[in-house]
Structure formats: structure tokens, C-alpha cells
Structure 1
Amino acid sequence: MECAAKGLAAEPCAGGVADRRCGSCGAVAYCSRAHQIIHWRVHKEECERFAEQMRRVNLLSQFPFTFLEPPALNHEFPSARCFFLQMFKLHQKGLWKSECICGSDVASAKDLSIAAEWNLQSSLCPCTEPENPVPAVLASWEDYYQWRSLPLHSPVAVLLHWPLTLYHCLQLYRLQTSKYDGQDTLCIHYLGPEKELLQLATFGELRALFPGVQIHIELVGPEVPKSRDGEVVNISRYARCSDESCCCKSSIGSEDSSCTAVRLKLWKGFYHERCSDIMKDSNPHLIVAPNAGVAAYPSWMPTIEIIRQTGIPAIFTDFCEEAAYLASCCISSITGQPLKIPIQVNPFRQPVAADNSALYLPCYSNCFIFGM
């Protein structure tokens, strides 16, 4: 944990870990009392808000899974996330490669669509069509696992938070309008993809969540490799399990683009730069921006203005409640309106905590959700 006063004080931070936490909120830490005093002029504006957010630590850490016992760190692995993956023999394998600090980044990927392996037994992953029709509403990970006949010790939620968050965004949008009810095609503009670019096969689960619906997703962001700009990835099957005898293997090599249920197109650049070109291809029902970090990146301001002008509903997520709060302030300063979808907990947030070197606030990928 870094000292919250780092960069503000004339004196450099003392060596070692910043383990002196604010006694009121417990969300920030300091290397010394002197630095805590210096930082108070900044922290006093946020302390009460942080304290309220810290009260939700237990709520946010509640998941139905049985795989969440924190592992003891092992010197062979550079992070707890790495060790967690190794517990399932998934470290640096298939779709899991980008889930830890050892993973390759998007820029070095030779083929964004190549990883389509769960590296799990068929009983632990959704590699085939569901046995039962999708319920009218899936409201939790427990609902999803029960529907997909998965045991609660399966770790697939660690990756499936991408398509399940998208599903939840569409359900929230559905409450606002019936615009897409009964339609056989759904178009989504997906802003700022990063590590999910190396996990595209997980979006195949949208086939099960929206049966009979063609889903077109335009993935737009600066992390899309230049060599992949304009690439189309068609997903007509689920990511495969490791069982050689499973029926999911029978579809290998038999993809037919005419029956593709999920079509992904990659666009390099910021949305406000590429919007006019993208709109020629597709008119979206919804814009989604996972883990957006709106307040942290000035490039979001012209994008939000474009969204405001088009009037297309947009839903954002972020890692922690403070990031969502700051984003809401930025959005409202541009739109002049309160959020249409207030900040709320995403039931399909990633069930493994994300590293947060600056604050003790609870932090999970796609943790909080809100919309304009």
C-alpha cells in the first residue's frame, strides 16, 4: 500500500510499507504521522465518504462460491492471483493467461481469437448448450451457476464476469425501455476493452443468455492492436473443455459464419474519434463501458459529450465505489443531469478482489454499475 501523501509532502516517504491507516475511514494509509497531517487538507473532503464505502466491505465480498478461501502466498508465484490460478492448474493456460501479472499484454498477442480453451473438465465449465431454457431473469452468480448446472467450486465466474456483466447491463436497460424486446438482433458499442481482448471466447456465453438473438458488439478502444483494427471475430460455439470425449469437440473446424450468434468487430482508437465510422456499420441499442475509469482519463470527456449528443443509453462499470462516484460527477457536469441508472453493486462482479495499491476500498473488476 502506498502512502496517500506521496508526492504532496516535501519530505520523501519513509521506507517500508505505509501501514498507518486513517482512524476514521480506514481507507487510506500513511508512512508516518507527519505525512498523515499533511494529507488531511485533501483527505478531509473525502474521509466521511470513504468511511461509508468501507462499510460495504463485507457485502461486496459475499459470493456463493467455495473457491474463494484466500491462498497463502507461495514464493514460486509473484502474486496471490497467480497462486490462485495455479491451485486449479490454470496459471498461464488458455483463456486464463491474462488473469495475472505474468500474462502477456494485448499488444503482444498474435491472435486475439485463438484462446478458446477453458482447460477445465466439462462438469466445471459451460462448454455446451444449456440443459434448460434461460430463466426470465438471472439475478446472481448463484442463479447462473444453477441454470448452467455448474458446481460452486468452478472458477469460471472469474472470466465470465465480462459477458454476465453485459447481460446485466442489458437487463437494466430493459427496465428503462422496451426498445429491444422481441428483436432478433442486438447491437452494442463496447468501449475501452483491455484484457477481455484476450478472452473473447467468453463472449460466446451470450449465445446461451440470449438464445435466437444475433448479437453484434463493436469493441472500441486504444488497446486494440493496430494490426487488428477492423478485424471481425465470429463466435459460433462455446469455449471448449479439456475432456477429449465431450461433444463440444465435435464443432471444431465446423464454424459457419452464417449461423454465428455473436459477432465482434474491433476498432482501434477512442470512441469520439471513431464514432462516425462505427455508426455507418451499426446503430447501437446500448453503449457499455466496463471498468471505465471516467474520472481518471480526460479522454472520456469528449466521448461522454458524443454519447450525450446521440442520446444512446450508456452504462458504465468501475472497480470501486469511489471511482463510480467520481465518474458520476464528471458525467453530470457534462450532461447537466443526474444519472439515469444510479450507482449500484453489480451482482456479476468478478469474484476475486483486484489489487489496489492506493486505497483499502473494496475493489473488484466490474464491481459498481451506473448509467446515463
Structure 2
Amino acid sequence: MSCVKLLNDFPFTFSREATYQVCEKVETRCSFLDKLGIHLAGIWICECSCGSSDLPLDHLRSDKGWSLPNRLCPCRGPLSILKKQLCSWSEYYEWRGISLDSPVALLLHWPLTMYQAIQLAFGKQLTNETTDELCIHYLGPERELYQTAVFGELHALLPGVRVHIDFVGPEVPHDRDGETISLSSYAHCMEANCSCKTPISTDDSSKITLRFHSGYYHDCYEELTKEFLPDLIIAPNAGIAAYKSWLPTIELIREIEVPTIFSDYCEEACHLAANCITSVTGTPLAIPVQLNPFRHPLAVEDSALLLPCYSNCFLFGI
């Protein structure tokens, strides 16, 4: 509770509405998104309960755009290559030339949390000078399955690195099990004449591919690793203490010894997860519980806890 002010601290012009006013029920997620003009629009459809159920399968596609003008979204490549590690939303927005009234952080927390997890796992800025290929096993995806276009931002965050991401979880539709898609561009803006509609001129050295697997990680692992062995495992908003199905997955991760980064909605959930993990591994966390600078800036609505809760709020790892 002593960290409430810090948890609610974001640089955006809409921060008070997205944090305190949502928690105090002055705003709802729907009313907030509606004010921004993105309620149920394109890839924003899962950001409130209105659009989170019975989504048609065609939403599991990578061509959904931002539904925003290009001045408010990173629809094209950066003007400069990253020369230092990004440490805050302010630094990211400045680097990408986006004004702080843009809501794109509400979706970009997925690839930016992945970026932060990579830095934590490998302890250095990851570029094509340190590696030319990265395979990530991404466990338990839900909303992000319908927001895959935003992972195109990895072109900017990891220039020159071939990134392969396996999305693994029971929420992956069975019809899409084994499907692979390639992200050849950034998520598009809404302007018809913008240059973002032209695919990025890339070769295999900066390719981003996503593959989908329906089922639990411990059941899918052998099939997953026939083609790619993982360099990193990421489990966003894992809820380890809440689901017994995590135990065989934790046991598998202990055996294969692959760096693994978890996130959760609040610090208490992370500490409960740490207790579960250490009961299986017999060792303390390799990466202690810490605040994620790229957490979702819109508070969880109607949380059962008085604690501020945000998607991808805290990170920890083994």
C-alpha cells in the first residue's frame, strides 16, 4: 500500500482518468475508451468486457490497425535506432515521437513488457550485435491473441533480430493450433495515404513470426521444440498461485533451465507465486519481484483487492 502513488504514476495526459477515477468508479473502462474514440474499435475490442466474449475468429489476425491518426501511433519505423535501454513510458514515447495524449501504451504494454523481460533475463541491451535470433515461448496468452499486430513493434525494439514467438495456452482457438503468421509491418494508422501501408522492406535478418499452440505448456513442449529451442520463456499475468495447472509447467521449466520471466497484476500475487515456485524448485527467485516500468496504464476495473492492479504490473523470474 505504501507504493500506491508510485503504481498510479504515469506520464500520460489521461493518467488520472485511467487510474484514480477508474478505481473510484468515476470512470469505467468503457467510458474511458469511448472518450478516446477507441471503444470496440479494431484491435481495441478486448480492452473492455463489451468485446471480450464471443469474438469471431477473424480477430485472430495480424492486420488490425490502431484506428488512430499517425501522429498518435508508431505505425512506421523509428527515426533513430535505440542507443540505450528504455526505462520508462516517457522515454519510449519520446523515442517514437508520440505525444503523451496517445493511448497506444494500453496495447504496447505487451511488446514493451517482452522487451523489459529480455533485458532482465539477459542483463544487457539485445541487438543484432549480441544475437541474431531469439525464440520466445509465450505462455497463457488471452487478450493479446487478438492484438497480435502490436508485436510488430519488435521490429523497432529489436532491430536486426529474427524473433520467433510461440503463443501457448488453452485460450488459443483449436482451429488455429499450429498456425504461423509473419509480421512484416507495424500496426497501421487510420490514414489511407500514410506510408505505413507499404510493407517493411526486410530480409530474414529482421523477421518476426508468431506460431499458435492450443494447450498447456507441459503438454505441448515436445512438439514446440522440434523446430526451435526456447531462449526465453515469458508468462504474462500468470496467476501461478491461483491455478494448479502451473505446477507441472514449473517442474518442466526447472528441468530445462531456460530463463523465465513472469508478470502479475499486483505485488501480493507475485509473492504468492514466488512461494509456489520455490516449493517446486527449492531455490529463491533469480529475478526478484519488481515494478514493471511498462505496465498497462489503465487500472483493472472492479478488482477484488484494494491494491492498485494493472496488467503486467510486476515482474519476477527464475
- TM-score w.r.t. the length of structure 1 is 0.80
Conserved? CA contact 2:128–2:161, under 8 Å: no
Name the CA distance, whole Å, in 1 between partners of 2:252 and 2:2. 36
Conserved? CA contact 1:174–1:180, under 8 Å: no
The share of aligned pairs that are identical, in percent, is: 50
Q: Match of 1:287?
A: 233
Alignment of 1:1-372 (within 5 A): 54-70=1-17, 80-105=28-53, 108-175=56-123, 182-251=130-199, 261-372=207-318
SS at match of 1:281: coil
Kindly provide the amino acid, as one letter, of the partner of residue 149 in structure 2. Answer: A
User: Using CA pairs below 8 Å that are at least 6 residues apart, which structure has the higher relative contact order?
Assistant: 2
Name the CA distance, whole Å, in 2 between partners of 1:255 and 1:199. 23
Deviation at 1:191, TM superposition (A): 0.3
Which stretches in structure 1 are left out of the alignment for 5+ residues?
Answer: 1-53, 74-78
Find the structure with the greater CA-based Rg. 1
Conserved? CA contact 2:287–2:316, under 8 Å: yes
Name the CA distance, whole Å, in 2 between partners of 1:155 and 1:183. 32
Kindly provide the amino acid, as one letter, of the partner of residue 328 in structure 1. Answer: A
Deviation at 1:109, TM superposition (A): 2.4
Deviation at 1:188, TM superposition (A): 0.4
Conserved? CA contact 2:75–2:187, under 8 Å: yes
Kindly provide the amino acid, as one letter, of the partner of residue 122 in structure 1. Answer: N
Name the CA distance, whole Å, in 1 between partners of 2:110 and 2:82. 18
Deviation at 1:212, TM superposition (A): 0.7
Deviation at 1:105, TM superposition (A): 3.5
SS at match of 1:273: helix
- TM-score w.r.t. the length of structure 2 is 0.93
How many pairs are equivalent? 313
SS at match of 1:303: helix
Conserved? CA contact 2:62–2:181, under 8 Å: no
**CA RMSD between the two structures:** 2.3
Which stretches in structure 2 are left out of the alignment for 5+ residues?
Answer: none
Name the CA distance, whole Å, in 2 between partners of 1:293 and 1:110. 28
SS at match of 2:46: helix
Over residues 87-133 of structure 1, what are the superposed CA-to-partner deviations in whole Å (9 max), with x where a residue is unaligned? Answer: 12111111100100111437642341155210111000000010111
